[in-house]
């Protein structure tokens, strides 16, 4: 690597010395930084790693069939503060609780993982994630779950399509959502990415189709899910921010 000149007092951007420094680091194969990084320059090794990046975005989904929607709507009519009754109802549907992946409470007949307890029903039906990135390896375990399939090089429009299809499926059974809207993705201030939330009041419960960050991935991935929990008949349906809190 070329020897860099020793910085003297007054060696600031715009001086002849700064121009020499810039020429030397570029001759060494370094490049100007990415705008979202704090490094003064990015070494050639980092550039080579980025060029060799073979990460790919995926979306995996498991369809919401009319029968499954009917089963979930039936469960929404139960008292979800009585977990024993809800547990027994899911068993009567034939949902499995033996060898459930990721410590799920149940697996539906279609293949969705259901997490429940303490008055809560939580069922993801789509995931957006990156394979080959820092957090994930290259094994597509979500796409390999029974009943699931994944699409490589999928944009977020694919995840949004899963959400819209799920809302349409519940609307066929329950009518239009009692609350339906979007808000900015958590941590995204540009408004470029929006999460949709649609909710129905069913007896003493609230059923919500929405999007959020996946806690099982330490909030690295996004998912779309059906959530259900108690809501007093006298309580108003939460606004979109409230629905986001309900889901996330």
pLDDT digits (tens, 9 = 90+) for 125-137: 999 888 877 666 6
Q: Give the pLDDT score at 136.
A: 67
Q: Residue 43: pLDDT above 60?
A: no
Residues 6+ apart with CB under 8 A from 103: none
Give the start-to-end residue ranges of the domains of the chain: 1-53, 56-247
Residues 6+ apart with CB under 8 A from 4: 21, 24, 25
In the 8-state DSSP scheme, what is residue 132? Answer: S
Q: Give the pLDDT score at 125.
A: 97
- Of 146-155, 185-194, 228-237, which range is least confident? 185-194
Q: How far apart are CA 231 and CA 207, in angstroms?
A: 9
Work out the angle between the directed axes of helices 156-174 and 66-76 (0-180°, nearest 10): 60
Say whether 125 sits in a helix, a strand or coil: strand
Exposure of 129 in the CB half-sphere (CA atoms within 13 A): 28
- CB under 8 Å, gap of 24 or more: what pairs does 10-18 form? none
Confirm whether pTM is higher than 0.85: no
User: If we measure between CA atoms, which residue out of 42, 229, 227 comes closest to residue 122?
Assistant: 227
Q: Residue 26: pLDDT above 80?
A: no
Confidence label for 60 from pLDDT (cuts 50, 70 and 90): very high
Q: Which helix (H) or strand (E) holds 124?
A: strand 120-131
- Distances 216 to 38, 97, 104 between C-alpha atoms, Å: 30, 19, 11
């Amino acid at each position: 690597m070329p020897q860099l000149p020793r910085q003297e007092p007054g060696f600031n951007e715009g001086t002849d010395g700064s121009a020499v420094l810039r020429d030397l680091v570029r001759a060494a194969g370094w490049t100007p930084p990415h705008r979202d990084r704090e490094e003064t320059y990015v070494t050639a090794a980092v550039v080579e790693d980025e060029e060799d990046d073979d990460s790919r975005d995926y979306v995996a989904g498991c369809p919401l069939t009319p029968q499954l929607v009917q089963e979930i709507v039936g469960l929404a009519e139960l008292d979800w503060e009585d977990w024993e009754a809800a547990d027994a109802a899911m068993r009567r549907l034939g949902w499995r609780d033996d060898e459930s992946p990721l410590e799920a409470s149940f697996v539906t007949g279609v293949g969705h993982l259901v997490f429940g307890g303490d008055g809560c029903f939580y069922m993801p039906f789509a995931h957006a994630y990156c394979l080959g990135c820092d957090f994930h390896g290259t094994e597509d375990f979500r796409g390999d779950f029974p009943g699931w399939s994944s699409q490589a090089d999928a944009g977020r429009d694919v995840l949004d399509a899963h959400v819209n299809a799920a809302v349409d499926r519940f609307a066929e059974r329950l009518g239009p959502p009692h609350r339906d809207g979007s808000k900015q993705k958590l941590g995204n201030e540009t408004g470029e990415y929006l999460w949709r939330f649609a909710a129905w009041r069913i007896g003493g419960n609230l059923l919500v189709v929405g999007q959020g960050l996946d806690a099982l991935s330490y909030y690295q991935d996004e998912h779309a899910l059906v959530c259900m929990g108690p809501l007093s008949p006298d309580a108003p349906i939460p606004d979109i921010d409230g629905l986001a809190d309900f889901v996330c």
